[in-house]
Amino acid sequence: MTEFMPDRQRTRYESLFEPTALGKVDLANRVALAPMTRVSATADGVPTDRIGSYYRVFADGGFALLITEGLYIDDQTSQGYFFQPGIANPTQAAAWQRIVEGVHTAGSRFFAQLMHAGSQSQGNPHSAATWGPSAVRPKGKQLAMYRGSGPFQIPEAMTAEQIRQVRAAFVTAARFARDAGFDGVEIHGANGYLLDEFLTDYMNNRTDSYGGDVTNRIRLAREVCQDVVAAVGADIAVGIRISQGKVSDNHHRWAGREDDASAIFTALSDTGIDYLHITEYRALAPAFIGDVKTLAELAKKYSRLPIIANGHLDDPRDAAEIIDSGAADVVALAKPALANRDWPHRVLRGEPLSPDLPADLFGPVANLKDWEVAVEFTDPEAGAVD
């Protein structure tokens, strides 16, 4: 148990409980639930009552913002794994509407994370092939927690028409999310999924306007942000999640270091989005060896947007530190939230926090050891990979 003194230390964490906003969406405090894979939808990607109960618990526990697990955006190639929920059709969107209403009843805001898995798709029931910027196999191996095994497939190098299809799918999914009542959408541009693959130098060997220097490699993420802002930005908040590490390569860092960060965050901020969600293995660690700036600091410096920070902010002292430093405006918690589903209430009251994760985390995981191995090599903060 981590012990906290109820009165004397509470003032240290006051910044976590100040109100803020992401775009036009007001938040009662600075603590968000990070996106974490549940693998507990139906085979057709429809969210279940179990998923609804899962999110409602965190809303009741005081998290001002909940961000869904990655939701696949079309019925062709975007799904990442079996039993992943989608928001690709009216049936899926209607099921999310009931869940959104439950979260709102508890007083929390709710964002839908929109995801195309790209070449990190594992066992996609809709397609035998995967898509990527180039025909380059992701590093590492598929994960047992996703019913995957062996190396990832070598993806098909996407054509210009397939790129247009993906852009359109993000827009369609964003409209479904808006109509289902979500307060915002978060475009998944992190963790080695499709948009991040375009950004990643060794995954992208293209010679057209989507390949080459970092300005071209961020182009698809920038276009998707612009498309989604144009489609729903007047109605709901729009943001994007960005990382250096990925499911298949947690040690990856941008070769251009701060120059790349400047180009990436400036390009994204110019799209009209409302915030950036920065996820690193440790949010308070330097982004690059030999430097002192965190990736959240660089995102704030070059984007001037509100920043959500994610990555081992388990201790409220660390969570408050990154808020107090001005590098982030909101913290997103994964593993500590699973262990303490009322984390904000506990911290506010000065109550002990449990370090213990529940044995039945989600869906059909073979055993806790499988999940722990997956967490160690994948998600920066770790509830499961999103």
Interval 44-57: pLDDT, tens: 999 999 999 999 99
| Run of H or E residues at 70 | strand 65-72
Residue 342 included in any domain:
yes
- In the chain, the amino acid numbered 244 is Q
pLDDT value at residue 375: 38
Helix (H/G/I), strand (E/B), else coil: 240:
strand
Name residues whose C-beta falls within 8 Å of residue 339's C-beta, 6 or more positions apart in sequence.
353, 354, 355, 356, 357, 358
User: What pTM does this model have?
Assistant: 0.92
Residue 243 included in any domain:
yes
From 193, 210, 275, 302, the catalytic residue: 193
pLDDT value at residue 144: 79
Residue 378 included in any domain:
no
pLDDT value at residue 363: 47
Residue 280 included in any domain:
yes
Residue 170 included in any domain:
yes
pLDDT value at residue 380: 35
Residue 4 included in any domain:
no
Total domains present in the chain:
1
Residue 2 included in any domain:
no
Q: pLDDT digit of tens for each residue in the chain (386 aa)?
A: 344 434 444 456 999 999 999 999 999 999 999 999 988 999 999 999 999 999 999 999 999 999 999 999 999 999 999 999 999 999 999 999 999 999 999 999 999 999 999 999 986 666 678 999 999 999 999 887 777 788 999 999 999 999 999 999 999 999 999 999 999 999 999 999 999 999 999 999 999 999 999 999 999 999 999 999 999 999 999 999 999 999 999 999 999 999 999 999 999 999 999 999 999 999 999 999 999 999 999 999 999 999 999 999 999 999 999 999 999 999 999 999 999 999 999 999 999 998 877 655 554 433 333 333 333 333 433 344 45
Cα–Cα distances in angstroms (integers) from residue 275 to residues 30, 162, 193, 365, in the given order: 14, 27, 19, 33
Residue 256 included in any domain:
yes
193 catalytic? Reply is yes
| CATH at residue 281 | 3.20.20.70
| Run of H or E residues at 374 | helix 368-377
DSSP string, 17-34: GS-EEETTEEESSSEEEP
d(CA 31, CA 266): 25
Specify which residues 132 forms β-bridges with: 157
Name the phi and psi angles at 276, rounded to 5.
-120, 140
The half-sphere exposure of 269 on its side-chain side, counting CA atoms within 13 A, is 16
User: Residue 197's domain spans which residues?
Assistant: 15-138+146-352+365-371
Structure letter (DSSP) for residue 184:
E
pLDDT value at residue 359: 56
pLDDT value at residue 386: 52
Give residue-wise pLDDT tens across range 55-98.
999 999 999 999 999 999 999 999 999 999 999 999 999 999 99
